[in-house]
Amino acid sequence: MDIYGRRYESRMMLGTALYPSPAVMRAAVSASGAALVTVSLRREQARPGGGSPGFWSEIRELGADFLPNTAGCHSAREAVTTARMGRELLGTDLVKLEVIGHADTLQPDVFALVEAARILSDEGFHVLPYTTEDLVVAERLVEAGCRVLMPWASPIGSGLGLNNRYGLRSLRAHFPDTTLIVDAGLGRPSHAAEAMELGYDGVLLNTAVASAGDPVAMARAFRLAVEAGRLGFEAGAMEPRDMAAPSSPVFGRAVLA
């Protein structure tokens, strides 16, 4: 998986929130094989002495690259400010850009998203925008400088899976050279495999793993599903047919009068 010129062997990205303990979080990240972990930021965390020292210590010991996240931001200005703090705090130009526009669905405000993406790209950030599967919005984000797009499967934390398979397939077809990562709404390993079978480059998830009865086992299950889905895509999975087609040869079969 290519993220702004950097290659990652793993096609899975994992969030660091909601786990029952830091130890479980560490074990889940390890089991997932994730090369990138998301870290949500708040203003108070960026101040000297802000945030939990224990939390930052745990994060730095994960052995994965950081992806600061502007989760919870509701305006372009707020998201840009949070991204700048993330770069200062974690020393990375990567940022997962979220600008929430709807309180119930957590659907992104795509207008503010494009605005913030353009500002941050101009400042040298490597922006990974959380967006919808809308093709026009995707074009605007690419024009703003984004080389990675992160369309949702369904609302954050819903576990509904791929709500608009057609839209996601169309996005993949329209942007063959852009890294596409399905973000939000994946609830089961099969959802991740389905996304990868569409030709997506990776998936990002948090709630499905962190809230599972056994987060470590679920992280491993998603890891295997991502690998299986990608292999299926690369192998050339068969397209569905309207009619049955025999899998056994009929030539040479005995004919009884």
Q: CA–CA separation, 150 vs 228, rounded Å?
A: 21
One-letter identity of residue 250: V
Segments making up each domain of the chain, as ranges: 2-235
Which neighbouring-strand residues pair with 67?
A: 38
Rounded to whole angstroms, the Cα distance separating 109 from 99 reads 6
pLDDT digits (tens, 9 = 90+) for 48-60: 445 555 666 776 7
Give 5: exposed, middle or buried? Use CB within 10 Å, 0-12, 13-18, 19+.
Answer: exposed
Is 185 labeled as ligand-binding?
Answer: yes
Q: Indicate if the pLDDT at residue 45 is higher than 80.
A: no
- Whether 184 has a binding-site annotation, put simply, is yes
Quickly tell me which residue has 């797009």 as its tokens.
149
Question: In whole angstroms, how far apart are CA 197 and each of 21, 43, 225?
Answer: 33, 39, 10
Residue 257 banded pLDDT, cuts 50, 70, 90: low
**The model's pTM:** 0.88
Displacement of CA 234 from its chain's centroid (Å): 20
Which is the catalytic residue, given 13, 16, 66, 96?
96
Please give the sequence-ordered ranges of beta strands (E in DSSP) within the chain, or none if there are none.
2-3, 6-7, 12-15, 36-40, 65-69, 94-97, 126-131, 148-151, 179-183, 202-205
Tell me whether residue 96 is one of the annotated catalytic residues.
Answer: yes
Q: Which amino acid is at 229?
A: G
pLDDT at residue 46, as a whole number: 47
What's domain 2-235's superfamily in CATH?
Aldolase class I (3.20.20.70)
Q: Please state the φ and ψ torsions of residue 122, each to the nearest 5 degrees.
A: -65, -25
Is position 207 annotated in a ligand binding site?
Answer: yes
Question: Per residue in 62-101, pLDDT tens?
Answer: 778 889 999 999 999 999 999 999 898 888 999 999 999 9
* Average pLDDT in the chain: 90
pLDDT in tens, 108-120: 999 999 999 999 9
- Which whole number is the average pLDDT over 133-139? 96
